[in-house]
Structure 1
Amino acid sequence: MTRSAELLIVNGRVFDGRLRTASTAVAVRDGRILRVGSDAEVLALRDDASTVLDAAGGLIHPGFVDAHAHAVFAGVERLSIDLTPAVTVEETYELIRAGAARSDGEWVTGGGWSHELFPAPTRHELDRIVPDRPVALSDAGHHTLWVNSRALELAGVGADTPEPRNGHIHRDEHGVPTGYLNETAAELVGRVVPPASEAEMSAGLANAQEYLWSLGVTGWHEAILGEYNGKADATPAYLRGIADGNLRSEASGALWIAPGLREADVPALVARFVELRERNAAAGFDTSTAKAMIDGVPHGETAALLEPYCSHGDGFAGELHYEEDAIRAFIVQLDAAGFALHLHIMGDRGIRVALDAIEAARAEHGAGPRHHIAHLSMVRPEDAARFGPLGVTANIQGLWAAPDPAVVAMIGEARMQAGYPFRSIAESGAELAMGSDWPVSPAEPWLAIHVAVNRWAPLPPGVEAPPLPAGATPPTLDPEHQALSLEQALAAYTAGSTELVLRRPGRIRVGERADLAIASADPFELPPAALVSVQTAVTVVEGVVRFQR
Structure 2
Amino acid sequence: MNDLLVRDVRPVPLGRAGETSPVDILIRDRAVVAVGVGLARPAGVAELAGEGRWAMPGLWDQHVHMVQWALVRSRLDLSSAKSVEEALEIVRRGLTGAPGPSRADASQTPLVGFGHRSASWPRRATPADLDEVSPDRPVVLVSGDAHHGWLNTAAMRLLDVPWRDGLVVENEWFDAYDRLGDLPGAASQAEAAAVDAVREARQRGVVGVVDLEFSPSWDRWPSRLAVTGPFRVRTGVYAGRLPEVIARGWRTGDPLPGTDHWATMGPLKVISDGSLNTRTAWCCEPYADGATLAQPLGMANFGEAELTDLVATAHQHGLETALHAIGDRAVAQALAVFARTGASGSIEHAQLLPAGGLAQWAALPVRASVQPAHLLDDRGVTEQCWPDRTARAFALGSLREHGIPIVLGSDAPVAPLDPWLAMAVAVCRAPEGGEPWHPELSLTPREALAASVDGRTLAVGQPGDLVLLDADPLAGGDPAVQAKVLRTMTVSATVVGGHLVAE
Which interval holds the TM-score relative to the shorter structure?
0.7 to 0.9
Name the residue aligned to 2:326: 346
Q: Quick one: structure 1 residues 282 and 142, their matched pair in 2 at CA, closer, same or farther if it must change by over 3 Å?
A: closer
- For residue 273 of structure 2, the aligned residue among 288, 292, 295 is 295
- Unaligned segments of structure 1, at least 5 residues: 162-168, 172-176, 259-268, 363-368, 459-472, 497-505
Alpha-carbon deviations, 1:399-447, whole Å to 9, x = none? 12456112322222x3123212222222322222111111111111111
User: Match for 1:310 among 288, 307, 318?
Assistant: 288
Match of 2:232 among 227, 250, 267: 250
Q: CA shift at 1:513, angstroms? A: 2.6
Does the 8 Å contact 2:79/2:116 carry over to 1? no
Matched to 1:456, the amino acid is: A
Partner of 1:273: 245
TM-score (norm 2): 0.82
Distance 1:277 1:476, change over 3 A: farther
Displacement, 1:138? 1.3
Once the two structures are aligned, what percentage of the paired residues are identical? 23
SS in 1 for 2:356: helix
Partner amino acid, structure 1, of 2:489: V
**Pair 1:393 & 2:367 matched:** yes
Instruction: Answer yes or no: is the 8 Å Cα contact 1:8–1:46 preserved in 2.
Output: no
Contact 1:157 1:188 survives alignment (8 Å): no
Shift of 1:55: 5.3
Q: Which runs of 5+ in 2 are unaligned?
A: none
Q: In 2, distance between residues paired with 1:347 and 1:276? A: 34
Equivalent AA in structure 2 for residue 74 of structure 1: W
1:419 — aligned with what? 393
* CA distance in structure 2 between the partners assigned to 1:102 and 1:55 by the alignment: 53
Q: 1:430 aligns with which of 404, 410, 434?
A: 404
Matches within 5 A, 1:126-275: 131-154=135-158, 161=163, 171=165, 177=166, 180-184=167-171, 186=173, 189-190=176-177, 193-195=180-182, 198-224=187-213, 228=214, 232-242=215-225, 244=226, 246-257=228-239, 271-275=243-247
Counterpart among 470, 478, 482 of residue 438 in structure 2: 478
Change (3 A) 1:355 1:189: closer
Aligned residues: 475
d(CA) in 2 for partners of 1:312 and 1:85? 24
Deviation per CA, 1:377-412, whole angstroms, max 9, x where unpaired? Answer: 111242222222112111111212456112322222
Asked whether the 8 Å contact 1:81–1:99 carries over to 2, the reply is: no
* Pairing 1:399-414 to 2, within 5 Å after superposition: 399-401=373-375, 404-412=379-387, 414=388
C-alpha deviation, 1:293, in angstroms: 0.5
Q: Distance in 1 between matches of 2:34 and 2:170?
A: 50
Change (3 A) 1:191 1:272: closer
Does the 8 Å contact 1:71/1:438 carry over to 2?
yes
Task: Classify 1:99/1:538 alpha carbon distance in 2 versus 1 (closer, same or farther; 3 Å).
Answer: farther
1:486 Cα shift?
A: 1.2
C-alpha distance in structure 2 between counterparts of 1:385 and 1:124, whole Å = 49
Instruction: Map 1:320-339 to 2 at 5 A.
Output: 320-339=300-319
TM-score normalised by the chain length of structure 1 = 0.76
Cα deviation, residue 193, structure 1: 3.6
2:77 maps to what in 1? 83
CA shift in 2, pair 1:97/1:195, >3 Å: farther
- Cα RMSD of the aligned pairs, angstroms, is 3.5
The alpha-carbon distance between structure 1 residues 87 and 518, as it changes in their structure 2 partners (threshold 3 A), is farther
Letter in 2 for 1:69: V
Q: How many Å separate the matches in 1 of 2:429 and 2:370?
A: 13
1:52 to 45, 48, 52: 48
Q: Give the C-alpha shift of residue 100 in structure 1.
A: 4.5
1:250 positional shift: 1.0
Find the counterpart in structure 2 of residue 365 from structure 1: none
